[in-house]
Amino acid sequence: MTNLTSPPVPATRRPRKSNAHEKLAPGNALVIGLLMSSAFLVLLNEMLLGVALPTLIWDLNVSATSAQWLTTGYLLTLAVLIPATGFVMRRFHLRTIFLTSLSIFVVGTALAAAAPGFGLLLAGRIVQAVGTAVFVPLLMTTTLRLVPESRRGSIMALATAVPAIAPALGPAISGLVLTFLPWRWLFILVLPLAVVALLLGAVKLRNITTPEPATLDVLSLLLSALGFGALVFGLSSIGESASGHALITPVIPIVIGLIGIAVFALRQIIVRRRREPFMDMRIFGNKLFVVSLLAMMFIASNAFGVSLVLPLVLTGGIGLETLAVGLFLVPGGVVIAAVSALSGRVFDRVGPLPLVIPGALIWTASIWFLSTLHASNGVWVYLAGYLILTAAQAMMWAPFTTLALSSLPANLYSHGTAAFSTMQQLAGAAGGAILISAYAIGGAAQHAGALTATQTIAAGHTAFTTAGFIAFGVILSALGLVVTVVVRRRAAMKRRS
């Protein structure tokens, strides 16, 4: 990939008016549009099983903690592979990466569609994840390189909103399909769409990058798999441990995972002395990147965890049918699209602080609000809380992402997007494991199907309360962002004087 050396974008600075209406080149717009639509498809698939979990628990005769691996295992695979996407984006042409990844995704989708039971279904999901891993980092890196600085906030808001809308629409599509067809049709219907995207890429997509000579560091890949895999496995075992069914205490894999990640980071520092590492640790010397990354980890953790718990509460506690649960979540996608479009324009005009500070406060309050609801409150009160939650989340998602990646020099874009996506996926997997475990503990039962309506509401309270404590991390990160921006501005004023 072309090794640009332009200075980091001053993400908190208002763009010059003369650049306010810069347009994308037609060819660049096509590239970004194709990557956006493909990311939409693979991320739609990523969350397609959220609403289907109760059905799969019943049909496949598995527990809630086992069934969650159909989603958590997917994210775990992404967390293991995404650190290598920086290497992949430097080593190969854009077109080669796109066609290879989407081909793997097609194979995984076909495998899941034909799966006769849980084991092969899980295998298909993992193959899908292997094909999915590069799409979001590839979209973000390509967008940063092709979009003019003055339009970066609005275009990045679109780039982050399109994949964010997919998980919100996924449950509705899933509910509609499951109302009339068996669960395997969730994959059968995705398959032709993926094939069409593959054909469009083969015909329309052009290369915009020049590959660099890069060497795959196998030890780094192994350390990444060990660290992230063991950590998420340990977190996922918390619920089973509480019910007395865990094969091993969660502390052991969690400690192994943390050690593995630490050694992985040390390995990157050592490798950089001789050649380009998997992940350049210099990105963590940028305070804006680190603060924004921490905030996004808390947000992703709760976003994924709540998306798993809420359908269980609506189904078992409120009594909604699968289709109704899916339709319940659709307005969230509309809210994400509208708020993201608005937040992108606000970001380009005044920067991130007017968005992330109120967003963090409203988001945290909405989660705590959900933790107080009972079945007697009714579905409309749950819907109001959910819509406020998604609106506040959209206020923060694009600004934190744009601020983090734009604060890096261009030659570190691929490393920054790989690290950002890795930690985001890890946080999502951890959040899903933690909130599902909290749900299992709060319901005092291992099997979701064994919970009464009262037990389901109690389980939801425990999960949402846990999410509320996690949300405080976003408030602290937002305050850290304020301090970082103020310090930078004062330092810049001193240099000018």
Q: Confidence class of residue 446 from pLDDT cuts 50, 70 and 90? A: very low
Largest Cα–Cα separation, the chain: 71
Whether pLDDT at 381 is above 90: yes
Residues 487 and 66: their CA atoms lie apart, in Å, by: 47
Q: Confidence class of residue 2 from pLDDT cuts 50, 70 and 90? A: very low
Q: Which two tokens stand for residue 163?
A: 């994949």
Confidence at residue 386, expressed as pLDDT on a 0 to 100 scale: 93
Contact (Cβ atoms closer than 8 angstroms) between residue 235 and residue 433: yes
DSSP codes joined into one string, 397-450: HHHHHHHHHHTS-GGGHHHHHHHHHHHHHHHHHHHHHHHHHHHHHHHT-S-GGG
Q: Confidence class of residue 365 from pLDDT cuts 50, 70 and 90? A: very high
Contact (Cβ atoms closer than 8 angstroms) between residue 439 and residue 451: no
Confidence at residue 4, expressed as pLDDT on a 0 to 100 scale: 31
Stretch 107-118: mean pLDDT:
90
Stretch 116-138: mean pLDDT:
88
Confidence at residue 449, expressed as pLDDT on a 0 to 100 scale: 47
Confidence at residue 262, expressed as pLDDT on a 0 to 100 scale: 93
Domains of the chain, with CATH numbers? Answer: 24-496 (1.20.1250.20)
Contact (Cβ atoms closer than 8 angstroms) between residue 95 and residue 206: yes
Residues 52 and 67: their CA atoms lie apart, in Å, by: 10
Confidence at residue 354, expressed as pLDDT on a 0 to 100 scale: 86
* Averaged pLDDT of the chain: 80
Contact (Cβ atoms closer than 8 angstroms) between residue 91 and residue 255: no
- H/E segment holding residue 472: helix 453-496
Which range among 111-120, 206-215, 226-235, 278-287 shows the weakest confidence by mean pLDDT? 206-215
Confidence at residue 37, expressed as pLDDT on a 0 to 100 scale: 85
Cβ neighbours of 497 (radius 10 Å): 5
DSSP letter assigned to residue 182: -
Stretch 428-432: mean pLDDT:
78
Whether pLDDT at 425 is above 70: yes
Confidence at residue 18, expressed as pLDDT on a 0 to 100 scale: 41
Stretch 47-72: mean pLDDT:
75
Confidence at residue 331, expressed as pLDDT on a 0 to 100 scale: 87
Confidence at residue 203, expressed as pLDDT on a 0 to 100 scale: 85
**Higher local confidence (pLDDT), 96 or 216:** 96
Contact (Cβ atoms closer than 8 angstroms) between residue 100 and residue 133: no
State the amino acid at position 422 in one-letter form.
T
Tens digit of pLDDT for each residue in 162-207?
A: 766 776 777 778 878 888 888 889 999 999 999 998 998 888 887 7
Which range among 51-55, 452-456, 477-481 shows the weakest confidence by mean pLDDT? 51-55
Q: Confidence class of residue 30 from pLDDT cuts 50, 70 and 90? A: confident
Q: Which two tokens stand for residue 261?
A: 């990640």
State the amino acid at position 484 in one-letter form.
T
Identify each DSSP E strand in 253-411 by its residue range.
none
Tens digit of pLDDT for each residue in 119-129?
A: 889 999 999 98
State what percent of residues in the chain have pLDDT above 70.
85
**DSSP SS3 for 6:** coil
Confidence at residue 108, expressed as pLDDT on a 0 to 100 scale: 93
Confidence at residue 150, expressed as pLDDT on a 0 to 100 scale: 65
Stretch 135-149: mean pLDDT:
79
Q: How many residues does this entry show for the chain? A: 497
| Cβ neighbours of residue 194 closer than 8 Å, sequence gap 6 or more | 41, 102, 105, 106, 109
Tens digit of pLDDT for each residue in 257-285?
A: 999 999 998 998 888 888 777 788 889 98
Residues 158 and 151: their CA atoms lie apart, in Å, by: 11
Confidence at residue 9, expressed as pLDDT on a 0 to 100 scale: 40
Q: Confidence class of residue 495 from pLDDT cuts 50, 70 and 90? A: low
Name the nearest CA neighbour of 77 among 110, 140, 122, 141: 122
Stretch 22-31: mean pLDDT:
71
Tens digit of pLDDT for each residue in 402-424?
A: 888 888 887 788 788 888 887 88
DSSP letter assigned to residue 477: H
**Higher local confidence (pLDDT), 93 or 50:** 93
Cβ neighbours of 361 (radius 10 Å): 15
Give φ, ψ of 178 to 5 degrees. -70, -20
